[in-house]
Amino acid sequence: MDIAVCGEVLTHLIQAAETLGADADSVPKWRAMLAYSRPGVIEVLPALPPLLAKGSISGMLLRSFAKLDKVVWDMNARTAELTVTSVKKQDVTLIARHGIEAITAPAGVLAAPLQPGRANIDVHLPENKPVTVHLTLGRRKPLDWVNQRA
């Protein structure tokens, strides 16, 4: 990761943490609120606090062999735009717990048509080529799935 990008990410996270009364030790928790990943999975905004209804972050390395170049979100407009660059050609499941009502992506990226309201969609990521995806988010609360299972 570029040092300038790393510094920018850290600066924004620390500013957000200070706004909420947290300290720099909270940065890993903030990362987890904005993106979660594991091999084959990228989840955006899994635990976004209401105070951060609008914002952006850039330069996050993911555990799915990819870099989240940038995420811009506006929860009031129910939109999120993310740019991902994978270090290898791979298929991943993109998850948005709020639900995905609509998605636009370059040709060949979506593995199948979106089923509106679902929280996930499979995408094809090419090697070392940035892919930008625009999401219209649903109205679900991220923890609704917990209540459904209880």
Q: Tell me whether strands 79-86 and 131-137 are parallel, antiparallel or unpaired.
A: antiparallel
How high is the mean pLDDT in each 10-residue block of the chain (150 residues)?
46 55 57 88 90 88 94 96 98 95 96 90 98 94 58
Q: What is the reported pLDDT for 144?
A: 61
Q: Residue 5: what residue type? A: V
Q: What is the reported pLDDT for 48?
A: 85
Q: What is the reported pLDDT for 44?
A: 95
62, 35 contact by CB (below 8 A) = yes
Question: Can you tell me the distance from the alpha carbon of 138 to that of 119, in angstroms, rounded to the nearest whole number?
Answer: 8
Residue ranges and CATH numbers for the domains of the chain are: 3-143 (2.60.40.1180)
Q: What is the reported pLDDT for 117?
A: 76
